[in-house]
Each structure stands twice: as structure tokens, then as C-alpha cells.
Amino acid sequence: MNELDALVQTATAQFEQATTVTDLENAKAQFLGKSGRVTELMKGLAKLSVEEKKAQGAVINQAKQAIEAALQNRRAALARAELEIQLKAEALDVTLPGRQAGIGGLHPVSRTIERIEAIFNSMGFDVADGPEIESDWFNFTALNTPADHPARSMHDTFYVEGGSAEAPNLLRTHTSPMQIRHAVQHVKKYRALIDAGQDMPEIRVIAPGRTYRVDSDATHSPMFHQCEGLWIGRNVSFKDLRVIFTEFCRTYFESDDLVLRFRPSFFPFTEPSAEVDIQFASGPLAGRWLEVAGCGQVHPNVVRNMGLDPEHYIGFAFGMGPDRLTMLRYGVNDLRLFFDGDLRFLSQFQ
């Protein structure tokens, strides 16, 4: 093997050993650089005769080209390897499950409220909505619960300064203020009719919403839901309340043999007053009496505060707990689960 073939072999071998671009460029300098072996050989031609220059020059050139080709090969190989590494690092696993946009759903208590609304709608009741920050007047005084009434102590809540019919100052403790708010609006609309001695259209309304009390355990939450009901007319009796509420409970629980019990109770704004208990004939709660609402005939003082004459207008009101109804319907035993915001619990209702 002549010197040049050996040189090509050495160069090729060194290029192969280079594992980085920098190594390769350093190796290149040894052969093709300004003072590399090939360049030295070229310089040596100067001393030769014209004939020899031609012959020797051609041979050196061949060797040079072979070395350059080896260099190009190695460069390409290193570039491929580098790309390979990069592709591996940036690899996408196309078999991974995609990111899904979670499909939201209604809160179980919202579902209950929608059900309540649908059932009462079908019985001719409107749905009304009112403020959660309420005035002392609507929450207590107008409901026959004056400032010194002992019933107020059972409705402790969060107060802010001020407070008048126009300036709300407490978080409402029940939805009963909606009895007055809705009735006053209704009466205003039919004032002329009433003053002319004619009958106004009956008030038939429910008002679901959030309510607040200083209360917290497995069955009480400082924020909870209530749904108020009010039916005022010329001839509305406790019998109507019983029929309506029985119909509601049987439809809501989809159980025809469910029975109701009206247990005497006290509320300042109704007289007489009752607590409504229900009993299932079958299922896990069969035989137990479960309290679901408070109710009663609207107190004459409250009818007066609605702007109506209690000698002419009479009716009933009820207040039930959608949270409680949801617990009974789905067999949930801790109210707080509804408000913890834990999706593992909430998603079960979708």
C-alpha cells in the first residue's frame, strides 16, 4: 500500500471514530486543514519538475477527494444520528388518550330545584326569584316577627350595618320574604281591580333559592336551599294545601303510596302552622317519618302586609328544603357533600 492510500485509510478511520461534529472538524483539520497532511503534500510538489508535478498532483488530488468524500459521509452520518436523537426526545405517543374537554352537568340540588319547578308549573304555579341579601323588614318584621320576637333567635344570620326596607342588611334566613315581595308586586298590578271591589287573579307562586343560617353539621349547612310556596285567593284552604303538597311529593318521589302527615307546629307568619312529614311504603326508608317542609295558613298580619284585606283573602304558604329532598331521593346521608365541590361525588349524578 502506498503512502497516499494509507493516508486515506487513516483519515477515514479517524473520521469514523469522531462521534461529535466538533471531533470530526478537528480530525478534518489534521488532513485537509492549512497545515494538514494533504496540504503539506501539495506544498511538496513545488520542488518537483513539471512532469512529476502533473503525475504526483493527480494522485494527491485523488487521495484528497477520497478524504473529502469520507468526511462528507461521516458528516451526513452524524447529522442523521443527531436527528434520530432529537426525534426520539420529541417523540409523540399517538396512542395516548387525548385531552378531553370535560362535559359539565347540573348540580344534584339544581336538578331537584328544576324538578320542583316543573311539578309546580304543571299545577299552575309561577316561579319567582329574589335577593339573598335581604332587609330586616322582609325577612322578619313583615312576616309577623317583630324585633323582640323570640322566633328570631332560631334564625341567626350574618348582619351588616344599616338596614331598612330599601337597604338590605342581612343574609336571608329563609325564602319566606319572597311571600311578601311577590305578593306586593302582584297586588300593585291589580290594585285598581281590587279597589273596584273585584277579585284579583290568585297568587300562586314558588320561590326557590339560597338561604343562610348559623348552623353546621351533617344535616345543616350555613348556606342551604329553600323553596317557598304561596297560594292566596278568595277561598283557598288547608285542604288545598294538603292536596297540592301530596301531589307534589308523590310526583317528586315517583311513589303513589307515599303518605303525608301534618304535625302541628309554630311559625310567626302562619296560623295554624304545621310541619309536613312523609313516609315511604317501601324502600330503604320505609316506615320512617321524614320531615320535609313547614307550612300553614298565612297569618292575617302577613296578608295585611301584602296589601290585602285578610277578611277577603286567605291562603297558605309552605317552605321546603331542596337539599333534604335531594338527600332522600338519592340516599345521601351527609348534606355537606353537596357543597364540598368534590367531582368524585358530584359526577355520580350526571
Q: Which parts of this chain interact with ligand PHE (CB under 6 A)?
A: 174, 176, 267, 270, 294-296, 317-319
- The answer to whether the CB of 223 falls within 8 A of the CB of 213 is no
Which amino acid is residue 38, in one-letter code? V
> Between 144 and 176, whose beta carbon lies closer to ligand PHE?
176
> Between 176 and 251, whose beta carbon lies closer to ligand PHE?
176
d(CA 315, CA 30): 108
DSSP state of 201: P
- The answer to whether the CB of 112 falls within 8 A of the CB of 152 is no
The residues near 144 (Cβ < 8 Å, ≥ 6 apart) are: 268, 269, 299, 301, 302, 305
d(CA 207, CA 189): 19
> Between 176 and 221, whose beta carbon lies closer to ligand PHE?
176
> Between 27 and 302, whose beta carbon lies closer to ligand PHE?
302
* Residue in the block written with cell 326508608: 285
- Cβ of residue 215: shortest distance to ligand PHE, in angstroms? 11
- Cβ of residue 203: shortest distance to ligand PHE, in angstroms? 14
Q: In angstroms, how far apart are the furthest CA atoms of the chain?
A: 140
> Between 144 and 326, whose beta carbon lies closer to ligand PHE?
144
d(CA 317, CA 273): 9
- Cβ of residue 102: shortest distance to ligand PHE, in angstroms? 36
- Cβ of residue 279: shortest distance to ligand PHE, in angstroms? 20
Burial 88-98 (b: 16+ CB within 10 A, else e): eeeeeeeeeee
- Cβ of residue 231: shortest distance to ligand PHE, in angstroms? 11
* Residue in the block written with cell 493527480: 58
DSSP state of 217: B
- Cβ of residue 226: shortest distance to ligand PHE, in angstroms? 6
- How distant, in Å, are the alpha carbons of 115, 126, 306, 326 from that of 120? 9, 8, 22, 17
> Between 112 and 176, whose beta carbon lies closer to ligand PHE?
176
Residue 228's CB: how many other CB atoms inside 10 A?
A: 23
- Cβ of residue 294: shortest distance to ligand PHE, in angstroms? 3
Measured from each CB, the residue nearest to ligand PHE is 319
> Between 108 and 296, whose beta carbon lies closer to ligand PHE?
296
